[in-house]
């Protein structure tokens, strides 16, 4: 009898895990005016975010969610054309445990700079990694997650974050936060802007990043890209805008050390010009391309590359990485 009870307990636990940890919004109807497959603006604390409701959303079945952060000077609408998540086709992902048509894609909006009215640039939005922005973006992201979890049926173990440039810098900041790092399962910064305030900013730009990074858990999954020809956020680091940008391999090494992994990654080839560096079997992964600049890699034109396509598509790789990472 005791053995049977143990078996039933394990089976029940597996069912709960398979079903996902449900958010408070499970069982609630969609907000008035919303329907499956729609895109809607929402606000929290006076700030905006864009919600893409999945085609196959079911109020009783918890859905995964990806937070997607635009680059500096961009917008949610622009970033949709950059990461192209909403264009992904279910039939291209037979290997995923997640259902592509069941994922929420949420695009928060950054803040405009002071004095933008005079310059007519208030449509250009930035994140608090920018030296000129002082907004509480960590608080904003927590509030967005609170609102989403209360409104929709979400899988609390499958919340993810990605972003480009300043958005990538914010994703790194979220991963470093003691609270958000325990809410979000995995993080993917692309061409990340890791502006850091240090006293001595000198080559080789391999300064200690740990004083600026205190995640609330071990084994934080990181899936990053950076191009060696990036002149906006240089691969080898730089002193820029009264801040310091770390050398990208050093940045990845520090994440590996923070996750208690070896700082000697395994290197493999993705394309003849693209290398993949995996720490701890890939818990921390850095993809580097010799010829790409400050872009979101894609083999087709996107809202970021001006038609200068790359040798691989980053978005499918990111989705497959996310698929293997949960908080449970």
What pLDDT, on the 0 to 100 scale, is given for residue 19? 56
Structural domain includes residue 1: no
| Confidence class for position 289, pLDDT limits 50, 70, 90 | very high
| Confidence class for position 328, pLDDT limits 50, 70, 90 | confident
How does pLDDT run across 247-271, given as a tens digit for each residue?
999 999 999 999 999 999 999 999 9
Residue 297 lies in domain: 20-323
Q: How far, rounded to the nearest angstrom, does the alpha carbon of residue 147 sit from its chain's CA centroid? A: 18
Give the mean model confidence (pLDDT) for residues 193-215: 97
Structural domain includes residue 11: no
Structural domain includes residue 171: yes
Bridge partner residues of 108 (DSSP) = 49
Place of tokens 């191009």: 227
Structural domain includes residue 14: no
Structural domain includes residue 163: yes
Is residue 310 pLDDT above 90, yes or no?
A: yes
* Pick from 3-12, 62-71, 121-130: least confident: 3-12
How does pLDDT run across 135-191, given as a tens digit for each residue?
999 999 999 999 999 999 999 999 999 999 999 999 999 999 999 999 999 999 999
Among 192, 223, 191, which Cα is nearest to 295's?
191
The overall average pLDDT reported for the chain is 94
How does pLDDT run across 98-144, given as a tens digit for each residue?
999 999 999 999 999 999 999 999 999 999 999 999 999 999 999 99
Instruction: Indicate the DSSP class of residue 196.
Output: B
Count of domains in the chain?
1
Is residue 14 pLDDT above 60, yes or no?
A: no
Whole-number Å distance between alpha carbons of 197 and 188: 22
Place of tokens 């973006």: 137
> Regarding beta strands 274-279 and 154-164, do their DSSP bridges make them parallel or antiparallel, or are they unpaired?
unpaired
Give the mean model confidence (pLDDT) for residues 36-60: 98
| Confidence class for position 20, pLDDT limits 50, 70, 90 | confident
Tell me the CATH number at 97.
3.40.50.1820
The 3-state DSSP class for residue 60 equals: coil
> Regarding beta strands 47-52 and 104-108, do their DSSP bridges make them parallel or antiparallel, or are they unpaired?
antiparallel
* Cis peptide bond prior to 144, omega within 30° of 0: no
What pLDDT, on the 0 to 100 scale, is given for residue 11? 40
* Cis peptide bond prior to 204, omega within 30° of 0: yes
Is residue 12 pLDDT above 60, yes or no?
A: no
What pLDDT, on the 0 to 100 scale, is given for residue 24? 98
């Amino acid at each position: 009898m005791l053995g049977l009870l143990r078996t039933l307990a394990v089976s029940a636990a597996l069912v709960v895990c398979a079903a996902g940890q449900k958010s408070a919004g499970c069982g609630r109807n969609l907000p008035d005016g919303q329907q499956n497959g729609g895109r809607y603006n929402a606000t929290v604390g006076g700030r905006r975010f864009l919600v893409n409701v999945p085609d196959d959303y079911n109020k009783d079945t918890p859905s995964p969610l990806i937070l997607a952060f635009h680059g500096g000077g961009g917008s949610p609408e622009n970033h949709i054309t950059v990461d192209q998540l909403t264009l992904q086709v279910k039939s291209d992902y037979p290997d995923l445990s997640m259902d592509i048509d069941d994922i929420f894609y949420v695009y928060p909006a950054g803040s405009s700079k002071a004095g933008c009215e005079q310059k007519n640039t208030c449509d250009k939005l930035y994140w608090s990694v920018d030296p000129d922005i002082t907004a509480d973006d960590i608080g904003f992201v927590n509030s967005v997650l609170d609102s989403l979890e209360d409104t929709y049926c979400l899988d609390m173990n499958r919340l993810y974050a990605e972003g480009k440039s300043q958005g990538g810098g914010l994703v790194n900041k979220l991963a470093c936060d003691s609270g958000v790092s325990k809410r979000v399962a995995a993080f993917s910064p692309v061409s990340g802007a890791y502006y850091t305030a240090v006293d001595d900013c000198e080559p080789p730009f391999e300064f200690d990043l740990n004083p600026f990074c205190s995640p609330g858990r071990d084994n934080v999954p990181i899936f990053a890209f950076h191009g060696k020809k990036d002149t906006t956020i240089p691969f080898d680091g730089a002193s820029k805008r009264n801040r310091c940008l770390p050398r990208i391999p050093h940045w990845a090494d520090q994440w590996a050390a923070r996750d208690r992994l070896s700082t000697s990654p395994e290197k493999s080839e993705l394309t003849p010009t693209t290398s993949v560096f995996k720490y701890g079997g890939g818990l921390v992964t850095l993809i580097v391309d010799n010829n790409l600049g400050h872009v979101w890699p894609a083999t087709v034109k996107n809202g970021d590359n001006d038609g200068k396509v790359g040798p691989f598509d980053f978005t499918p790789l990111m989705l497959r990485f996310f698929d293997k990472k949960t908080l449970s």
